[in-house]
Each structure stands twice: as structure tokens, then as C-alpha cells.
Amino acid sequence: MSIYLCKLCSVLLLEHFGPVVQTVGDDLLKYDRRSLRAIKAAVNLPLNKIKEVMCVLIKYGFVEHSKNDKLNEYIIVHERILMILRYPRYMFFVKSLLGDEAEIMLEELLRRGYETASKIIVKTYQRLKQLSSDRQQPVEILKEKFESLVKHQFLMRSIITPAALEDPIDLNVEKLDFSFPDLNLLALSRMANGIAANPGDNNIYWRINFDRFTQDIRDQIMVSAITKRFDDNAGELMRQMLNLMYLRTAEWRATSNPIPYVEIKDAVRKLKYPMLIQHLDQYLCLIEEDTCQFLKRVGDSGGGQFSINMKQAFTQLTWTTLENIVLERFGSKAARIFRLVRTRKYVEQEQIQQLAMIPAKEAKHLTYTLLQENYIHVQELKKTTVSNAPTKIFFLFHIDLDQVVGMEISHCYHALYNTIQRRDHENTVNKRMIEKHLRVQTLTSNLKEHGATEEQLNDIAEMMTPSEKLELGKVQDIIKKLGASELQIDETLFLLTMYSRYQEK
């Protein structure tokens, strides 16, 4: 496991949960699974603090608890900590799919780790009320929103139940439960207005079904790839195909079960894509015949049967990603060589310069650079041509895709870690100014509430000198740019992780 994965998890814990959680987290990250006693022996913190941290880690799902031979063990889940990077993406996704209320609910659940539906609904009600009166929604509507989140399987019943605690085998069997409890609406609206009541779902906790989001983001990548390659019609067709895949295929299968043409046609008819309806056959053929190989025709009955090749799709997307990385790091000629080696599978140096039409010396230099940076690999082949001649050694260049992907995944971890470190550094260096700005802001809003005059407000605003304001603007831009690059690096990481995931099967 990459050391940068652990380091990245560690700084993510620090940023969101503070140094104490990080200290305990580091110990768990080092050993993967630990008992409380073992943590206590390694970490110099009072036991109560450690327990408190463990509660936090369990609450947010970063640590799973298992009883092994009656010994309580805590297992850290690295991937789950990395998800923190993707929370904004998930929230944005839900916002565009189900609207602002659903987004607030998701945010509340992310903030709390797990929670009852009633508490989330009440909190959402209160937050909306605070935002503005015209966004106010009655609890009935909010309950429906919550239910639609469950219906889309973004949320699931928490698998940590009293029964699971007693019999931890339950924890290993992932039984996803999406059954929604009966809620007392009257009690809900009383609670929303600050009156204690029993909504009827005590102890029924909801968690976020991250796997659902992972699949949705995965699908989004495929749809936008097809859109970029062809057009919006083709992209929409891909989206419909993916929807049809879910109806007949188990999650994370390498290929979907065959989707009959008739069903595709039915799905497309419901859309407002006249060009797609008119040329459906052509679009199917177009995607199927393309080198990206997302779709495959697997039968001819009933106008044709089509299968989505998920594994192949992510292999192609990964190649494209790696080719782009090589292109931007070493230039277009290096990318040409990289693609050439990919296409020819095993190729000699001489063939490389001939086929790539690059001067011999430059071609060699680039090939060796790629070799040195581990983007391509070399295999020796010994062969005796003439009996009395010395053994001739052929050097064949090839690409071990899994190896390159593994390297780039840890490159992403490293880049994310560095970016977060740098952002933290910028925050620390400019702490005084940022805090001053914060104080001025708080003071201004407080005074505004108390009806301060324009003059008073101006006085406060002038507490920051123009040069300070200028400097602050710069720092804010820097922090923003670093934050945005975290989001963008994570996109690359996500795609490469998808490739690895399909390879494991």
C-alpha cells in the first residue's frame, strides 16, 4: 500500500477532525486493524480520549468494528476516508438530480455520519427556514424528499445495529436495507417547531450508501466520454443504456447482461431527443463500431441485443488518461511512442523510430525517458542468429498497464497530499490576516443586526488596510486554486481506481 495513501488519509483526518483524531488515526493507518489496548499502548493519549476518537471514527464510518474471538478489533477503511474528497461532488450530484432540499439532507447526514430520518428532516426544515421564508417547505414534502433519497439508494439503513454488535458476522454480510419506517408526521412538524415529540423512528439510523454514488459518478464519466467523442445524442443513449443495465445486471459486473433493442427504443422514445429517436440504429452502430468498445452487439434476435462492456470501457478510458499524462509530461513525440508501444504490444527500438518517424536519437532519448519513468517496460529476448556469433539480445519494449496505473494512483495520492499540505501551509502563514478578516466580518454582521449606521460599518471595514485587503484577496485566490486542484486530481484518481476495481474481479 502506498505510503502516500496513509499520509493522505492522515491529513484528511487532521483537516476535518483535528490533531487528536489524526494521532489515533495514524496508529490505525499503520496497522490496519487494532484493538483498543494496542492503540493505548502505542498512542500517548488518555484512554478516554482514545475512546472518544474511536467513537468519532466509527460514527463517520472510517473505522469498522469487529469481534474476533471475542476480542474487539477496529479496522480502518482507507477508501472511506478518501471519500471525504468526494463529498462535494456527491452533494452537487444530488443537488442537480433531486434538488436543494435533498442536498441539505445529504449534507446533514455527511456532517453527522449517521442519523435518524426524523432528525435530518427536522434539521433540514430549520435550515431552510433560516435561509429564507420562501424556501420553506412543509415537513411532508421534506419527508418525501428523504424518501426519494432512499429510493435512489443514496441512503441506506445503518448496518451497525444492536444485533450486529452482538454478532459481528452480520457486519461482513452486506445486507443493504432501504425500507423506510413509518414516520409520525404530526410529531415531525411539532419537532420542527421545537416541541418534543416521538416521530417513531428512534434507533433507525441512516447512513450514506457511498457505493451508489461511486456507480453514479462512474456512469457520468462514461456518458461524458461518449458525448465528447460523438455528440449529445450518443451521450444520452449511453445514459439510457446504463439505466437499462441496472435492471438486469448485478452491481460491478464487467459486462452487462444483454439489453434488447426494443427496450432501448422504448426508453429513447420517452426522451426529447428527436435526432436520437430518428437515428437510433445508427447511433447504436456508431458506438458499437468505435474503437472505444463501450458497447458490444451480442445477439441479433429482436432487432439486436447489446451489452455494455464496463471493464473494457474503463480500460480504454484509463489508456486515454495515461496517454494524456505522458503527453503533458513529456510532449507529443513521447505520447506518440507510448501509443505506438501500446498498439504494437512488443516492439524494438528500431521499429519505434521508424514507425513514429522520429529522428533516431530523439526517439531513443524519449523511449529511455519513458522507460526510466516507468511508463514503458523492457523485456530482454536472447537469440542466437549464427552458431559462431555471440548471442544477440533483443530489447522489446512493452507496457504493463496495471503497473503504470498503480504508479499513477500513488502519484495522485502524493499530489493530493502535497496540495493539502500546501493549502494548510498558506492558511498557517496567513493565519493572522485571515482571522482578522473573520473578526471584521463577524463584527460587521453583528452590528448590522443591531442596526448600525453606514458610518459605523465603514469604520469597521477600514480596520483592514487596502494593502491587507489586496494581500487577503491573493491568499484567498491561492487557497481556492489549491482547493480546486484537489477536486480535479481526485477526478483522475477516481477514474484510475475504477480501472483497478474492474481488474480485481
Partner 1 sequence: MANRGRGRGKVSMSINVEQLGFGRGEALPGPVLQPPPKYPPLDYKPTPFTITDQDNYMLEIKRDYAEFLRDTPSYVQPIVVNKDIERYSDWFQDMMNDQTSYEEQYDWTVMPGELKPRNSSHKRRQDSIVKEPAKKKRDIDVEVRLKELERKESSQRSDVDDNGKEGDGDNEDDEKELEERPEEEEEELDEEMDDGTDYVNSYFDNGEAFDDEDDNLDDGPVY
Partner 2 sequence: MDVRGEFSSEREINRIVDVGESPEFIEEKIISLAQAKPKGISDKDISAEIPDLAPARKAAAINKLLAQGYFDLFKQGGTLLYRLKDPSKAKSVKGADNEEKVVYNIIEEAGNKGIWIRDIRFKSNLMPTQLNKILKSLETKKFIKAVKSVAASKKKVYMLYNLEPDRSVTGGAWYQDQDFEAEFVDILNQQCYRFLEQKKDSTKNCKDGPIGARNIAFASSKEVWKFISDLGISKVKLSVEDLEMILNTLIYDGKVERTLSSDGSNLYRAVEPLLSPPGLIRTPCGVCPVRKNCCDVGEITPKKCHYIKEWLE
What's the closest the beta carbon of residue 81 comes to partner 2, in angstroms?
19
What's the closest the beta carbon of residue 71 comes to partner 1, in angstroms?
6
Q: Which stretch binds partner 1 (CB under 8 A): 70-78, 268-276, 338-346, 456-464?
A: 70-78
Q: Cell numbers 488518461 label which residue?
A: 321
Residues 187-216 that bind partner 1 (CB under 8 A): 196, 202-203, 205
Task: Pick one of partner 2, partner 1, none as the site partner of residue 45 (Cβ within 5 to 8 A by kind).
Answer: partner 1
Q: Does 388 bind partner 2 (CB under 8 A)?
A: yes
What's the closest the beta carbon of residue 8 comes to partner 1, in angstroms?
15
Nearest CA-CA partner of 205 in 261, 159, 243: 159
Task: Pick one of partner 1, partner 2, none as the site partner of residue 491 (Cβ within 5 to 8 A by kind).
Answer: partner 2
**What secondary structure letter does DSSP report for 114?**
S
Task: Pick one of partner 2, partner 1, none as the site partner of residue 40 (Cβ within 5 to 8 A by kind).
Answer: partner 1
Phi/psi for 39 (5° steps) reads -65, -45
At position 11, the amino acid (one-letter code) is V
390 membership: H or E segment, kind and range: none
Task: Pick one of partner 1, partner 2, none as the site partner of residue 107 (Cβ within 5 to 8 A by kind).
Answer: partner 1
Q: What distance in Å separates the CA atoms of residue 373 and residue 368, rounded to the nearest whole number?
A: 8
Q: Does 392 bind partner 2 (CB under 8 A)?
A: no
Residues 416-455 that bind partner 2 (CB under 8 A): 417-419, 421-422, 425
What's the closest the beta carbon of residue 312 comes to partner 1, in angstroms?
27
User: Alpha-carbon dihedral of residues 67, 68, 69, 73, nearest 10 degrees?
Assistant: -70
Q: Does 293 bind partner 1 (CB under 8 A)?
A: no
What's the closest the beta carbon of residue 54 comes to partner 1, in angstroms?
5
Q: According to CB under 8 A, which one of 15, 144, 211, 362 is a site residue for partner 2?
A: 362
Asked if 137 contacts 128 with a C-beta cutoff of 8 angstroms, the reply is yes
Q: What distance in Å separates the CA atoms of residue 50 and residue 42, rounded to the nearest whole number?
A: 11
| Cell of residue 257, nine digits | 447482461
Q: List, in order, residues 6 or more apart from 26 with CB less than 8 Å away.
A: 6, 10
Residues 444-503 that bind partner 1 (CB under 8 A): 480-481, 483-488
Q: Which stretch binds partner 2 (CB under 8 A): 43-51, 139-147, 274-282, 442-450?
A: 274-282
Task: Pick one of partner 1, partner 2, none as the site partner of residue 258 (Cβ within 5 to 8 A by kind).
Answer: none
Q: What distance in Å separates the CA atoms of residue 325 and residue 444, rounded to the nearest whole number?
A: 47
Q: Does 389 bind partner 2 (CB under 8 A)?
A: yes
Burial 480-498 (b: 16+ CB within 10 A, else e): eebeebeeebbbbbbbbbb
Reported residue count of the chain is 505
DSSP per position, 176-202? ---PPPP--HHHHHHHHTT-----S-T
**What secondary structure letter does DSSP report for 254?**
S
Contact residues: partner 2, CB under 8 A:
225, 228-231, 233-234, 278-279, 282-283, 285-286, 291-292, 316-317, 320-321, 323-325, 327-329, 332, 335-337, 339-340, 343, 350, 355-360, 362, 386, 388-389, 408, 411-412, 414-415, 417-419, 421-422, 425, 478, 481-482, 485, 487-493, 495
